[in-house]
Amino acid sequence: MKLELNDDERAIIEEMLDKEAQSLPIEIHHTTVFEFKEMLKTKKKAVDDLLGKVRSA
């Protein structure tokens, strides 16, 4: 799948992903339920991967 974005759209997505990437470690740290913590770690990796793709586009 190819997604075409203009510069403003790309910047908005990058900002949203960056905010999520910054907040997830805090949420992971404060989570006590192992399964939820693991899900958040998986989500953090996916967000980081997506952020890398958006920044390299």
Quick one: pLDDT at residue 13?
A: 97
Domain ranges of the chain: 7-56
d(CA 39, CA 16): 19
Two tokens at 44?
């953090």
Quick one: pLDDT at residue 3?
A: 86
Q: What is the pLDDT along the chain (57 residues), one digit of tens a residue?
A: 888 999 999 999 999 999 999 999 999 999 999 999 999 999 999 999 999 999 998
pTM greater than the 0.75 cutoff: yes
Closest by Cα among 2, 17, 27, 7 to 48? 17
Two tokens at 11?
């910047």
d(CA 23, CA 39): 14
Query: Residue holding tokens 């920044």?
Result: 55
